[in-house]
């Protein structure tokens, strides 16, 4: 290992934004006008090798994640790579426990999103140095070394390094067959793309038809703005996909606990597999109350894309606040922390169904979920990866979905490298695409708003 | 109201840092070298009136809160003040739910700390416009209007506007007497200043003697780095303060759940009133486990200074994860959200003992706690405000402590205005004091580190 690089020479970060709100793509009950964006990190070594990592955001606020990456970068630049990867769990703790910076976290929000971008770039680099796709790097890794990448602080009451080694060793049986399986069959996915809130009935119907033809068996729609409309849309979807395929709904944190229960009782007739994010992502006990109330109706609770760290997931599992665990590849502190959650989910027997879409999320989670199948859970039962066919043209190695399945990525790394042309065009606010949008008045240049806002409103 | 101002003309924010790590003041098991700092906000109106607000941090990372204030400022500048204060709860929700920005929160970490600085400045302004100290503004406010300042989203299963009005109306009995009481007797406090981790035995003994003479009856020390040293320091403190005064200990999140229980069993012989922050501030269920295990030993659990929002406090109360609730005036989204926590604590019968110290925290929490006594809980039993006599010289109206009690503030506002001279000297990195520290080599200029860090380490 580390033949092509010895230490980290530099780290760059750029504010990349796509004007997706113009098309209403990705609209939901709480996020009505997202401009899908990312803080894009490149880790440069003393050799040719580079690592690419990112954190997804919705536009405004991306500048803050970019600044946070800069504030953390002094802990990364100059690091010896051999030492870093040998003690990745210790390095992760260092990065998340800086004695002054942790006050403005700790392990949550902007600071943790920035950690994710850096850590993801370091995993991409590691996979490149080993000349493997990330999922294969994880699959081939010695159990003790894999266990050492995790920081067990605050979760040792539920998960220890011994547990991780034990799980990996037990799962060695059948591992080769599962790897062949994944290479041959890929991993099933579901689509959210037929049911964004901004879409018309006609568009929804057409999209269902399209995705059925493409081999999808699970569909998710956004709910939570208007109960009558939700009923109408659920019925529309149920009719379009037939009685047996899975229909999931997503409220994006719209409700209080009692509202969630009442609303979902109204939607039960449409045979809903899960309600996603019924209330505040921070309300573990609220989710547990909702889960208990909806169980008799056969509706399960899914959450996780805004679950900020492993300590929260630990509690969601302990309190039975979720039945489907939806890890996000950028919300938590990158692969190291996500691994700890996969292992905790395994211990609790809860299926992981990753959140994806946005910018680069599909690219990343496919690796994680394939590793889970081969080395951790050993099963695809009740498990699907979200799939949104959007913005992949900006990535050098986009995920490939065929017949409702992600194909196992064959290229080296974590699939996170973007085209320089895309970066140059969509860098905010100086990229050409943004300059055009400011000039034709579609967007306001944020550098101009200060004076415009002097007027009272 | 609003005689001297109609709308918000501008909002400024500055990065203010004090080099406190040089003296080891404020050192604890997790934060070994804090440079007490704040993001300092001034809200300018179209008239003479201004509002001053701040968020406390430990140094590095303060620049991120400053940037987050700038990212939020477009939602504040230009606002009509009459509308804002009439619908303060709605404005608060607007500020915390911006459709793109909320992704990098929501309601937590850097973004929420920035909300706190802005919201605190708006409350200071409101009190100034009414020509009252903040606590008196709250005490005199019509119950319905006070209830309307709170956003009940995600807590309505525990607290409604009707509950708040009901509590306030019930507490009208005896209110005048309690106001007289507070003006005459002030509010009891405790000190953390005798027991920072960096202090020698000799210094600890001298400080205990000093604070006993000053009338203190409760003392807190930092623990968690070394069990034998902790025993030694607890014994030292117990001997210095006698068998009957209260001794509290603070672990600053050092332990896992089982470690916390084991460690505290060892310290039980020293008669500990509370263990503060035994583990991750996010681990509600972990705190509940610790609380249950330590109950037979008479040790109670206190936490809150890093509790990020009302949704977490709701769960801490529901799960019995704390016996003392330690609100922080800057961690949550300012006075509006803090009020909701005081009312929830009232409903659960849990005493609030605010976290203070840092920069400006004593200044602010005295107002909140006095309001609680007069209008919400109606009692001082089992309640104390933390007191650290540090950095108050930078504030125009510092808190006054006599005989172990905070005196009721008489000056208008929220006590948050700092001297311009202090701001100019300690603005980071361009203030004269910082320039001196860079020039004499005590600190590295952060603007220089980029190139220095090119060397591998």
Q: Is B94 on the interface with A (CB under 8 A)?
A: no
**Nearest CB to A109; choose among B111, B154, B284:** B111
B111 at A interface, C-beta within 8 A: yes
Taking alpha carbons only, the member of B334, B457, B382 closest to residue B69 is B334
Q: Which residue out of B65, B95, B100 would a mutagenesis test of the A interface target, given it has the greatest number of A Cβ atoms within 10 Å?
A: B100
Spatial contact of B26 and B101, defined as CB atoms under 8 Å apart? no
CB distance B36 to B74 below 8 Å: no
Query: What is the dihedral angle through the alpha carbons of A212, A216, A218, A221, rounded to the nearest 10 degrees?
Result: -60
Alpha carbon B67 to chain centroid, angstroms: 21
The count of other CB atoms within 10 Å of the CB of residue A144 is 12
Q: pTM for this one?
A: 0.96
Each residue's pLDDT tens digit, A322-355: 999 999 999 999 999 999 999 999 999 999 999 9
| Token duo for residue B423 | 């701001």
Between residues A3 and A247, which one has the greater pLDDT?
A247
Neighbours of A11 (CB within 10 A): 25
d(CA B115, CA B310): 14
- CB distance from B24 to chain A under 8 Å? no
Across the interface, which of A30, A104, A311 has its CB nearest the CB of B109?
A104
Residues of A in contact with B63 (CB under 8 A): 67, 71
pLDDT truncated to tens, each residue of chain B (457 aa)? 445 799 999 999 999 999 999 987 677 778 888 999 999 999 999 999 999 999 999 999 999 999 999 999 999 999 999 999 999 999 999 999 999 999 999 999 999 999 999 999 999 999 999 999 999 999 999 999 999 999 999 999 999 999 999 999 999 999 999 999 999 999 999 988 887 777 889 998 999 999 999 999 999 999 999 999 999 999 999 999 999 999 999 999 999 999 999 999 999 999 999 999 999 999 999 999 999 999 999 999 999 999 999 999 999 999 999 999 999 999 999 999 999 999 999 999 999 999 999 999 999 999 999 999 999 999 999 999 999 999 999 999 999 999 999 999 999 999 999 999 999 999 999 999 999 999 999 998 877 655 454 555 5
How confident is the model at residue B208, as a pLDDT? 93
Pairwise CA distance, residues A171 & A189, whole Å: 24
* Residue B457, pLDDT score: 58
- Judged by a CB distance cut-off of 8 A, whether residue B442 touches chain A is no
Phi, psi dihedrals of residue A273, rounded to the nearest 5°: -75, -50
Residues above pLDDT 70, as percent of chain A = 97
Residue with tokens 């994944």: A182
CA distance linking residue B107 with residue B100, whole number of Å? 13
Chain B from 276 to 315: CB within 8 A of any A CB: 279-286, 289, 306, 308-309, 311-312, 314-315
Detail the DSSP E strand segments found in B184-287. 187-191, 218-222, 246-250, 272-276
- Please name the residue of chain A whose CA is at the shortest distance from the CA of residue B39: A104
Distance from CA of A241 to the nearest CA of B (A): 31
pLDDT at position B339 is: 98
A199 or A188, higher pLDDT: A188
Residue A443, min C-alpha distance to chain B (Å):
14
Q: Residue length, chain B?
A: 457
Closest listed residue to residue A276, CA positions, set A301, A254, A259:
A301
What local confidence, expressed as pLDDT, does residue B128 receive?
97
Phi-psi category of A47—alpha, beta or left, where left has phi over 0 and alpha has psi -120 to 50?
beta
Q: Does B87 touch chain A (CB under 8 A)?
A: no
Report all structural domains of chain A as residue ranges with CATH numbers, in order of start: 175-406 (3.20.20.120)
Among candidates A61, A100, A113 on the partner chain, residue whose Cβ is nearest the Cβ of B100: A61
Residue B447, token pair as written in the block: 């603007």
DSSP letters spanning A55-78: EEE-STTHHHHHHHHHHHGGGTTT
Q: How many residue pairs bridge chain A and chain B with CB atoms within 8 Å of each other?
A: 223
Residue A2 pLDDT > 50: no
pLDDT at residue number A449: 56
| Rounded-to-integer distance, Cα A223 and Cα A228, Å | 10
pLDDT at B199: 83
pLDDT at residue B167, as a whole number = 98
Active-site choice (A136, A355, A367, A380):
A355
CA-to-CA distance for B53 and B73, rounded, in angstroms?
14
Torsion angle, alpha carbons of A374, A376, A382, A384, to 10:
-60
Which are the contacts of B438, defined by CB distance < 8 A and separation ≥ 6? B429, B444, B445
A99 touches chain B (CB under 8 A): yes
Interface test with A, best of B64, B94, B330 (most A CBs within 10 A): B64
Length of chain A: 457
- Chain B residues 115-154 within an 8 A CB cutoff of chain A: 153-154
A75 touches chain B (CB under 8 A): no
d(CA A174, CA B86) in angstroms, rounded, equals: 66
**Alpha-carbon distance B285 to nearest alpha carbon in chain A (angstroms):** 7
- Return the minimum-mean-pLDDT range out of A26-40, A426-440, B69-83, B212-226: A26-40
- Can you tell me the distance from the alpha carbon of B378 to that of A159, in angstroms, rounded to the nearest whole number? 45
Alpha carbon separation from A134 to A48, A137, A343, A347 (Å, rounded): 19, 5, 17, 23
Q: Give, to the nearest 10 degrees, the angle between helix A201-213 and helix A227-241.
A: 30
Q: Of the ranges A31-35, A53-57, B167-171, B295-299, which one carries the lowest mean pLDDT score?
A: A31-35
Contact B284 A281 (CB under 8 A): no
Q: Which residues contact A44 (CB under 8 A, 6 or more apart)?
A: A8, A9, A10, A11, A12, A50
Q: Is the dihedral of CA B183, B185, B190, B194 positive or negative?
A: positive
ipTM (interface predicted TM): 0.96
CB pair distance less than 8 Å for A154 and B256: yes
Q: What percent of chain A clears pLDDT 90, i.e. is strictly above it?
A: 90
Q: Is B202 assigned a catalytic role? A: no
- Alpha-carbon gap, residue B76 to B380, rounded angstroms: 37
State whether A282 and B318 contact (CB < 8 Å).
no
Q: A44 phi and psi, to 5 degrees?
A: -100, 140
Residue B189 near residue B207, CB atoms below 8 Å? no
* Cβ atoms within 10 Å of B202's Cβ, excluding its own: 8
Distance of CA A285 to the CA centre of its chain: 23
The catalytic position among B136, B220, B222, B314 is B222
Given a cut of 80, is residue A41 above it in pLDDT? yes
CA A398 to the chain's CA centroid: 15
How close B185 comes to chain A (CA, Å)? 35
- Residues in chain B with CB shorter than 8 Å from the CB of A107 are 282
CB contact under 8 A, A111 and B64: yes
Q: Does A262 touch chain B (CB under 8 A)?
A: no
Question: B262 in contact with A at a CB cutoff of 8 Å?
Answer: no
Mutate to test the interface with B, among A72, A280, A357 (most CBs of B within 10 A): A280
Nearest to B71 among A63, A71, A257 (CB): A63
Interchain CB distance below 8 Å, B64 and A59: no
What lies within 8 Å, CB to CB, of A155 at 6+ separation is A310, A311, A314, A340, A344, B256
Write down the pLDDT at residue B2.
Answer: 46
**Phi/psi class of residue B238: alpha, beta or left (left: φ > 0; alpha: ψ in -120 to 50)?**
alpha
Q: Degrees (nearest 5) of the Cα angle A222, A388, A40? A: 110
Tell the residue number behind the tokens 């018309």, with chain if given: A200
Between CA B16 and CA B359 the distance in angstroms is: 10
Minimal Cβ distance to B74: which of A33, A309, A449: A449
> Which residues 368-407 of B have a C-beta within 8 angstroms of A?
none
**What DSSP string describes B106-157?**
SSSHHHHHHHHHHHHHHHHHHHHHTTSBHHHHHHHS-HHHHHTTS--TTTTT
Distance (Å) from the C-alpha of residue B386 to the closest C-alpha of chain A? 19
Known catalytic residue at B112: no
Minimal CA separation from A178 to chain B, in Å: 36
pLDDT digits (tens, 9 = 90+) for A282-309: 999 999 999 999 999 999 999 999 999 9
Whether B113 sits inside 8 A of A104 (CB atoms) is yes
**What is the least distance, in Å, from the CA of B393 to any CA of chain A?**
23
User: Helices (DSSP H) in A295-391: which residue ranges?
Assistant: 310-318, 334-348, 361-371
Per CB-CB distance under 8 Å, the chain B contacts of A108 are 108-109, 282, 308
CB contact under 8 A, A9 and B454: yes
d(CA A308, nearest CA chain B) in Å? 9
Cα separation of B207 and B210, whole Å?
Answer: 5
Catalytic residue, candidates B112, B136, B300, B355: B355
- At A314 the three-state DSSP class reads helix
C-alpha B186/C-alpha A94 separation (Å) is 43
Inter-residue contact A285 to B319 (CB < 8 Å): yes
Question: Helix H segments across B295-376?
Answer: 310-318, 334-348, 361-371
B348 part of contact set with chain A, CB < 8 Å: no
């Amino acid at each position: 290992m580390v033949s092509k690089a010895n230490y980290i020479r530099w780290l760059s970060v750029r504010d990349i934004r796509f004007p997706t709100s113009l098309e209403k793509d990705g609209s939901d009950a709480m996020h009505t006008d997202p401009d899908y964006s990312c803080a894009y990190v490149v880790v440069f070594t003393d050799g040719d090798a580079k690592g690419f990592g990112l954190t997804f955001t919705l536009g405004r606020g991306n500048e803050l994640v970019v600044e946070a990456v800069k504030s953390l970068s002094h802990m990364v630049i100059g690091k010896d790579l051999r030492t870093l990867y040998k003690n990745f769990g210790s390095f992760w703790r260092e990065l998340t426990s800086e004695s002054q910076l942790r006050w403005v976290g700790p392990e949550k929000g902007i600071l943790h999103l920035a950690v994710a971008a850096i850590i993801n770039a370091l995993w991409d680099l590691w996979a490149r140095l080993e000349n493997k796709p990330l999922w294969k790097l994880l699959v081939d890794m010695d159990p003790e070394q894999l266990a050492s990448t995790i920081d067990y602080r605050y979760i040792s009451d539920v998960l220890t390094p011994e547990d991780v080694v034990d799980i990996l060793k037990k799962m060695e049986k059948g591992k080769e067959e599962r790897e062949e399986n994944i290479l041959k069959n890929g991993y099933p996915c579901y689509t959210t793309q037929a049911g964004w809130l901004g879409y018309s009935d006609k568009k929804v119907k057409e999209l269902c038809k399209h995705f059925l033809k493409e081999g999808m068996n699970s569909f998710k729609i956004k709910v939570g703005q208007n109960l009558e409309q939700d009923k109408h849309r659920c019925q529309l979807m149920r009719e379009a996909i037939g009685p047996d395929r899975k229909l999931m709904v997503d409220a994006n944190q719209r409700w209080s606990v009692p509202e969630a229960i009442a609303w979902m009782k109204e939607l039960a007739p449409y045979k809903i597999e899960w309600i996603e994010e019924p209330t505040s992502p921070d309300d573990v006990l609220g989710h547990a109350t909702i889960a208990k109330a909806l169980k008799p109706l056969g509706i399960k609770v899914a959450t996780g894309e805004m679950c900020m760290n492993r300590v929260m997931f630990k509690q969601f599992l302990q309190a039975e606040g979720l039945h489907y665990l939806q890890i996000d590849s950028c919300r938590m502190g990158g692969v190291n922390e996500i691994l700890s959650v996969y292992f905790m989910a395994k211990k609790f027997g809860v299926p992981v169904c990753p959140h994806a879409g946005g910018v680069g999320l599909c690219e990343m989670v496919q690796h994680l979920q394939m590793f889970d199948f081969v080395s951790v859970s050993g099963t695809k039962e009740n498990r699907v990866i979200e799939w949104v066919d959007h913005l992949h043209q900006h990535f050098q190695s986009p995920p490939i979905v065929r017949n409702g399945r992600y194909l196992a990525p064959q290229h080296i790394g974590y699939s996170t490298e973007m085209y320089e042309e895309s970066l140059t065009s969509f860098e905010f606010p100086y990229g050409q695409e943004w300059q055009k949008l400011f000039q034709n008045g579609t967007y306001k240049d944020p550098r101009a708003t200060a004076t415009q806002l002097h007027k009272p409103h």
